[in-house]
Amino acid sequence: MKKVLVTGGAGYIGSHTVIELCNDDFIPVIVDNFSNTDDRILDGLHQLLGYSPELYRVDCTDYNALKAVFSTERPDAVIHFAAFKAVGESTALPLKYYSNNIESLLVVLRLMEEFNISDLVFSSSCTVYGQPEKLPVDESCPPQPATSPYGYSKQVCERIITDACAARPALKCALLRYFNPIGAHPSALIGELPFGIPNNLVPYITQTAIGIRSQLTIHGSDYQTPDGTCIRDYIHVCDLASAHVKALRWLENQSAVCEAFNLGQGLGNSVKEVVDTFVRVNESALPVVMGPRRPGDVEQVWADVSKANEQLQWKTERSLEQALKDAWKWEKHLQQAGVKS
């Protein structure tokens, strides 16, 4: 069985991907500095898998520490999640985002070359498109100026990987451009675990519904969309996780390749639609107010996912409704466990 180093593997998307890797007979090795997660996720992984995957509490910007992991584990491939990811925070703390997101990738690429590792799956984002010229956006759409430092850091990282692949033909990479991951594992044993005030919509919805937050503020009601709120492409995190395994299998049969793939449902839902759907499917009250636009937000974006469907043999299986039910189940699990945000 192939061993896969999963940086950020104790995080939201990383932990769900660890489950999918095990289901497809890969051996995951988690590297995480726990800056945006904690040991509760490890407990959930243990319950789901029946064992605890190998874990290293290492910051990926620390070359020597990460080199020791590579030396010990000798992985066959790498999935690189480790990065800061909050659009709003990145506008206030751009240097934090540039130094962490770019430097961690540079360290990973250097070590992959030193240890002769060829296959890389990179956690990218639809923010590389900025506000696209056409919708739905496909992988050939020219990137527009990034609307946030987070988005720009992903653009830079994609360029670094593209240049690295051109310089080292043995390096093969799948650039996975996520749209908006939501939901949680249906077991409610792992899910999104934001610290403090959530930066993403759905955990703010669930925390408001359960009483942690007094109200949900929708940022912007005057966009040029049918109901005035931003439109996004929301994808269940388990569907997103499965795409990483498909990408690894695809890379096994490639040579000298660096390809981008959109990962989403392939349709857009407005913020208001998501809120209304949550209330309907979970029969939960939700105090909502309208607020001003948030810096860095794109008005509307959703994906053309035909390339991932065809080349990776991947497709989504879970609906928006299911994702919101699973997110609510996870939030209630956290409350029952006495977790305070």
Q: Which residues are catalytic?
A: 150
Burial class (CB in 10 A: 0-12, 13-18, 19+), 322: middle
Q: Kindly state the tokens that stand for 196.
A: 């403090």
For residue 78, how many C-alpha atoms fall within 13 Å in the half-sphere facing its CB? 32
Answer whether 298's CB lies under 8 Å from 147's CB. Answer: yes
Cis amide leading into 194 (omega within 30): no
The type of residue at 287 is P
CA 29, 15, 175, 311 dihedral sign is: positive
SS3 288: strand
- Identify the three-state secondary structure at position 128: helix
CB neighbour burial string for 57-72, b if at least 16 within 10 angstroms, e if fewer? ebbbbeeebbbebbee
E strands of the chain, at which residues? Answer: 3-7, 27-31, 54-56, 77-80, 119-125, 172-178, 180-182, 216-219, 231-232, 234-236, 258-263, 269-270, 288-291
Euclidean distance between CA atoms 183 and 323, whole angstroms: 4
Order of strands across the sheet that contains 3-7 = 54-56, 27-31, 3-7, 77-80, 119-125, 172-178, 258-263
